[in-house]
Structure 1
C-alpha cells in the first residue's frame, strides 16, 4: 500500500488549527482596512467573511448614516452589540467590526470568549487619506474631521490595546498586511495562552 503524503504545515494550516472554532475578529478605527484585509484573510484561511456594518444594515433595512440620523448613535451601538453577538455564535469566521464596537465591555468579553482579536493599527495620516476616499462616515460629518479622528485615537487606542494581536496597517499592498496578520496570529497562537503577559504581538 502506498504511503500517504504528509499534509504541508503551512502558516495558513497552523493558524486555522490554532483558532479552532473561534473567529478572527478585526478591530480598529475607520480606514484601518478591516474589511479589505478581512476578505483576503478569510480567503487564505478558507473561512467565511462577515462585515458587522453590512450585517447591521441588512438587519435594520437602513444604511448606517440613516441609522445614526434617525435613531442616534446610542441606538446604533445597541444594535451593533446584538449583531456581533449573533455573528460570534455563528463562527468560526473572519469578522470585521466597526470602529466603536470594541469599546463596549460586553462585546470585548464576547470576543475574548469566542474569538481572537486583531487590532489593525494605523497612523493618523494613513487613516485620513483612506477615509477621504469614502465620504459619508457619520462620526466625521463635521468641520474638523481630522480633529475628530485624533480624539477617537486618544479615546480608543488604549482599549484597542487589549486586543490579542496588534498589526500595523500601513501603506503597502493589502496582501502584505494580510501576511503580517497571519504571521502575528501564528506567533500568538504558538505561545502559552495562560500567560497574560504574552498578549499582543506587533508585526512591523
Structure 2
C-alpha cells in the first residue's frame, strides 16, 4: 500500500514524508522532484515556459507511474488534486493523508521561497488564503487529516503512524 501525502504547499509533505518513509522502511518519492527530473526543468520554469495546464498533465503522468508501484511514501504537489482523476489514482493504490496548516504558518514557512510560482503575487498571504479555500473541498476527501501548524515533523509522523496502525 502506498501512502500519499497531500495538502497545500508548505505544510511539510516532503519533510514528513522522508521521516515517515524511513520509519516504515518504505521508499520515498517527491512528485515535484520526479517531474523536474523527467522534464529537465524546475517546477517554476515549467510554469513559466509551458504554463500550469502543461505542468498538470506532466504531474498526472508522473503520479500514474508512481502509483503503479507499491509500498511507497509519496509527497505530492499542493495542486495535484485540482486535476480530475488524480484522487482516484491515489485511492486505488493507497491511503491519502492531508497535511494542513494555517495560512499564517504557511506564509512564515514560504515567505522567502522564490521557487513557488503560484505565490509570485503582491499580497502573498491573501493568495495563500484564496488558494487554500479553493482547494479545501479536495483536501478534506483524504482518509486522514493532520494539522502541522505548530507541530514538529516527528510528532506529525507519530500521529500518522498511529492512524496507519488502526487500518
Query: TM-score under structure 1 normalisation?
Result: 0.79
Mark the runs of 5 or more structure 1 residues left unpaired by the alignment: 1-21, 190-204
Runs of 4+ more than 4 Å apart: none
Structure 2 distance, partners of 1:103, 1:165, is 19
Q: Which of these residues, 48, 66, 69, is aligned with residue 69 of structure 1?
A: 48
Instruction: Give 2:137's aligned residue.
Output: 158
> Given the alignment of the two structures, is residue 124 of structure 1 paired with residue 103 of structure 2, yes or no?
yes
Q: Larger Rg: 1 or 2? A: 1
Q: Which of these residues, 19, 43, 47, is aligned with residue 40 of structure 1?
A: 19
Mark the runs of 5 or more structure 2 residues left unpaired by the alignment: none
Tell me: higher relative CO, structure 1 or 2? Use CA pairs within 8 A at least 6 residues apart: 2
Query: TM-score under structure 2 normalisation?
Result: 0.96
Instruction: Report matched runs for 1:1-204 at 5 Å.
Output: 22-187=1-166, 189=167
Structure 2 distance, partners of 1:100, 1:172, is 23
| Number of aligned residue pairs | 167
Over residues 122-160 of structure 1, what are the superposed CA-to-partner deviations in whole Å (9 max), with x where a residue is unaligned?
A: 111111111124222000001111111111111111111
Tell me if structure 2 keeps the 8 A contact 1:165–1:185.
no
